[in-house]
């Protein structure tokens, strides 16, 4: 890494860590990307970051392609550089972001698999609400879709985190970032039923702060819930590769398709950078395109 870049990169990484509160894995990924970019600058004898323009970044992306980096990985590098140069503009080291006008490589961001609204309804209706575990699973699935939670957030929801009267759930996301997400009447109804009837019997005299419990009052595990998702997908007759994250993708896509603005969806998902949320606009755009083709006289 050129010596002049060391302090700037250190400042940026510290900014991500302290100000943005990003997870350590994300910080490591950004650091690795910037180290690779710095090596490229050094090999091309660019010692001053101010001399880095759009042409240099394009040349770097071509270099990554020539090294057989797939489009998705090249897109991630570009996203890292966009954030880095945006920081340099904020710090008045640069006047403009040279990476801003560069488009992501085609197929650079894999569109997430989503379920249709009908498929969501089928799978949400699959658990038997009269059975103890069925009532729990129905409440978990409803909350997963209603709030767009990550599976790690779902299994760590505590009883005190859910306000059924007002209708919201409080959760702790990546980088210990807390957010509050509204939940609808369906989720509130299933959770209320679970708390009143099934949860006390699942606890069997044990005490737990966690909302969703397994045997002996222990919280659900990621692996355990993952298996449940697979089982209910099979029972529902849905022939798609479904994971807990599929519900989060569907949550975001359905909101955008329904007219929600990107910033609101970003807040509900708990994304630090709106560029992470923007991937869902591609899904929403495809939906609008299909609607146009289906209903427009000249579609």
Examine the residue annotation and report whether 215 is marked as an active-site residue of this protein. no
Provide the 10 A C-beta neighbour count for residue 40.
16
182 within 8 A of 168, measured Cβ to Cβ: yes
CA angle 185, 186, 187 (to 5 degrees): 95
* Shared-domain flag, residues 69 and 128: no
- Which helix (DSSP H) or strand (DSSP E) does residue 172 occupy? strand 168-172
Look-up of token digits 């767009």: 148
Cα–Cα distance for residue pair 270/6, rounded to 1 Å: 30
* Shared-domain flag, residues 58 and 160: no
Q: Is the dihedral of CA 114, 119, 120, 124 positive or negative?
A: negative
Domain around 35: 3-90
Report pLDDT for 240: 85
Examine the residue annotation and report whether 245 is marked as an active-site residue of this protein. yes
Report pLDDT for 3: 45
Report pLDDT for 121: 95
pTM of the model: 0.63
Report pLDDT for 270: 85
Tokens encoding 254 = 């359905």
Cα–Cα distance for residue pair 35/27, rounded to 1 Å: 12
Tokens encoding 215 = 């045997």
Tell me the pLDDT of the chain (299 aa) as tens digits: 444 567 888 899 988 888 888 778 888 889 999 999 988 988 888 877 777 888 888 889 888 988 888 888 888 899 899 999 999 999 998 888 988 888 776 655 555 678 999 999 999 999 999 999 999 999 999 999 999 999 999 999 999 999 999 999 999 887 778 899 999 999 999 999 999 999 999 998 899 999 999 877 888 888 899 999 999 999 999 988 888 889 998 998 888 888 888 788 888 988 776 666 766 766 666 665 666 577 656 65
* Shared-domain flag, residues 138 and 239: yes
Residue 156 lies in a domain: yes
* Shared-domain flag, residues 40 and 159: no
Report pLDDT for 1: 45
* Shared-domain flag, residues 37 and 150: no
The Cα-based distances of 122 to 87, 175, 254 in angstroms read 45, 34, 16
Tokens encoding 285 = 């755009």
**Active-site option among 74, 248, 249, 254:** 248
Examine the residue annotation and report whether 280 is marked as an active-site residue of this protein. yes
**Active-site option among 158, 174, 179, 287:** 174
Residue 225 lies in a domain: yes
**Active-site option among 177, 245, 282, 287:** 245
Examine the residue annotation and report whether 248 is marked as an active-site residue of this protein. yes
Report pLDDT for 197: 93
Examine the residue annotation and report whether 150 is marked as an active-site residue of this protein. yes
Report pLDDT for 112: 65
């Amino acid at each position: 890494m050129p010596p002049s870049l060391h302090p700037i990169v250190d400042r940026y990484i510290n900014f991500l860590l302290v100000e943005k509160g990003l997870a350590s894995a994300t910080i490591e990924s950004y650091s690795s990307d910037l180290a690779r970019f710095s090596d490229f600058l050094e090999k091309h004898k660019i010692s001053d970051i101010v001399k880095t323009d759009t042409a240099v970044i394009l040349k770097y992306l071509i270099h990554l392609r020539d090294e057989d980096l797939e489009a998705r990985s090249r897109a991630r590098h570009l996203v890292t550089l966009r954030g880095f140069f945006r920081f340099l503009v904020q710090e008045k080291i640069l006047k403009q972001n040279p990476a801003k006008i560069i488009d992501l490589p085609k197929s650079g961001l894999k569109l997430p698999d989503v379920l249709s609204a009908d498929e969501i309804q089928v799978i949400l209706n699959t658990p038997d609400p009269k059975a103890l575990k069925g009532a729990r699973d129905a409440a978990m699935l409803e909350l997963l879709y209603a709030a767009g939670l990550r599976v790690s957030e779902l299994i760590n929801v505590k009883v005190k985190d859910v306000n059924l009267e007002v209708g919201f759930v409080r959760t702790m996301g990546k980088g210990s970032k807390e957010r509050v997400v509204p939940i609808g009447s369906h989720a509130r109804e299933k959770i209320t039923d679970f708390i009143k009837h099934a949860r006390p019997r699942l606890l069997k005299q044990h005490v737990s702060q966690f909302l969703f419990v397994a045997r002996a009052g222990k919280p659900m595990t990621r692996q355990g819930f993952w298996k449940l998702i697979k089982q209910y997908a099979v029972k529902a007759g849905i022939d798609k590769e479904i994971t807990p994250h599929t519900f989060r993708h569907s949550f975001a896509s359905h909101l955008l398709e329904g007219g929600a603005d990107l910033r609101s969806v970003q807040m509900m998902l708990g994304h630090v950078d709106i560029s992470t949320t923007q991937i869902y606009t591609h899904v929403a755009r495809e939906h609008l395109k299909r609607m146009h083709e289906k209903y427009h006289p000249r579609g």
